[in-house]
Amino acid sequence: MPRVLMVISSARELPLKGGGSLPTGYWADEVYTPLRLFRAAGLEVRIYTTDGRPGIADPFSLEPRFHYPDTDRDFLAGIVRTFADDPEGIRFTLHHFTELDLIASRRVYEALTYANVAHGIARANVEAAAKESWKHDIGFLEALAARPKVSALVPPARAQVLADAVRHDSEVLAQTCERALAGDRALNMPYELASLSDEEILSFDAIFIPGGHATMVDLSDNRDVERVLRLAHSRRRLIALLCHGPAALLSVGNGSDGGWLFDGYRVAAFSNEEEEQAIAGRQRPAWFLESELKNRGVVYDEAPAWVSHVVVDRHLLTAQNQMSDEACAQAVLRKLGVLQGSAA
């Protein structure tokens, strides 16, 4: 089976532009979800850090609001795509995703269909209420209550129960993720990247680097990271980078033609818009990833904020944000020929 070299940040503090720092680490689900999927598919995964120290999960990434069930998250993404490009220019933000109960939209939709409302009509009502919530910055449950035909079938008290249920499920998932990361022997006893010979690096079929702001600290200017990526690039090994993971590309210098090794590649990564909404981004780290990648020469490929987005350009596979964790891992499996729909 294919072998994956997973490089994880072991940084614990993110320096800020005005001085001081924030606690940081890898983004929990960006390690937990791909690692779980890779192992389930039978891949051999070896975990490395630049100094041999174990990484830690960013405390922020363990909050329940970032661990909604995939079915609820995916349904909401489909709803958002119906209005996120509204001509009025309102963008879907982290505030909408985490604070307005929009995540309950799937369960309200199912409650309506259970009440014998036709699927198309149920979806149209949920989409309309979600758009009202988004456009006027009001709670999704409030927008539902303002639609008499909906509230007659799913009264406000019932809608609140559905919203509370999805929040409870997210709490359980967050706890499961935290326990799994804390108890993962390989993750907590990583190898040191410098210990790898060139031959050993080339024995891997793919390089995978998850994100979290910590990657900006110790993976963006590191000679061992550069060596791994240069060798992988030279033999067209798959290089997959998730969210802030593309910061590792900044470690790589120029190629034999004098240009940057990844100049002109299409790349998705955590966007400036998403950074402006994230707690760490609002505290102003020394630089933003999108801007630095553009400065180096990538063709930045951006989707709406907080929507799953994966980009493949030759042997480079990148994904925009933490919402892309599962899609990114599945794309890696397809590229490696493990899932149907493989790509050479």
Q: Are residues 47 and 73 in the same domain?
A: no
pLDDT at 19 over 90: no
pLDDT for 344 equals: 41
106-110, 121-125, 133-137, 155-159: which range is least confident on average?
Answer: 133-137
SS3 45: strand
Backbone angles phi, psi at 35, to 5 degrees: -60, -40
Q: What is the DSSP letter of 16?
A: B
Q: Dihedral sign, CA of 64, 98, 214, 254? A: positive
Domain hosting 255: range is 3-55+190-335
Tell whether 81 and 51 lie within a shared domain.
Answer: no
Sheet hosting strand 310-313, strand order edge to edge: 191-192, 44-49, 3-7, 206-209, 238-242, 316-319, 310-313
Residue 238 counted as domain residue = yes
| Residue 90: per-residue pLDDT | 63
Q: Which residue has the higher pLDDT, 323 or 47?
A: 47
Which tens digits make up the pLDDT trace of 156-209? 999 999 999 999 999 999 999 999 999 999 999 999 999 999 999 999 999 999
pLDDT of the residue at 54:
97
Whole-number pLDDT of residue 343 = 47
pLDDT band (50, 70, 90) for residue 342: very low
Where residue 83 falls among pLDDT bands split at 50, 70, 90? confident
Residue 88 has pLDDT above 60, yes or no: no
Domain check: are 215 and 292 in the same one?
A: yes
Provide mean pLDDT across the span 299-328.
94
pLDDT for residue 306: 86
Reply yes or no on whether the pLDDT at 315 is more than 60.
Answer: yes
Query: Based on the domain organization, do 84 and 165 belong to the same domain?
Result: yes
- Please indicate, yes or no, whether residues 266 and 316 belong to a single structural domain of this protein: yes
How far is residue 338's CA from residue 288's CA, in Å, rounded to a whole number?
A: 34
Range in 6-15, 129-138, 217-226 with the lowest mean pLDDT: 129-138
Look at phi and psi of residue 19 and say left if phi exceeds 0, alpha if psi is from -120 to 50, else beta. left
Number of separate domains in the chain: 2
Which helix (DSSP H) or strand (DSSP E) does residue 106 occupy? Answer: helix 105-114
Report the 10 Å Cβ neighbour count for 194.
13
Proportion of the chain above pLDDT 90, given as a percent: 80
Same domain, 212 and 271: yes
Within this chain, do residues 125 and 27 fall inside the same structural domain, yes or no?
no
CB 329 within 8 A of CB 321: no
Average pLDDT, the chain: 93
116 and 207 housed in the same domain: no
Share above pLDDT 70 across residues of the chain, in percent, rounded to a whole number: 96
pTM (2 decimals)? 0.91
CATH number for position 265:
3.40.50.880
pLDDT bracket for residue 35 (50, 70, 90): very high
What pLDDT score does 85 carry?
64
Answer yes or no: is 219 within a domain. yes
pLDDT of residue 189: 97
Give the pLDDT score at 199: 97
Element (H, E) at 70: helix 70-80
Residue 101 has pLDDT above 70, yes or no: yes
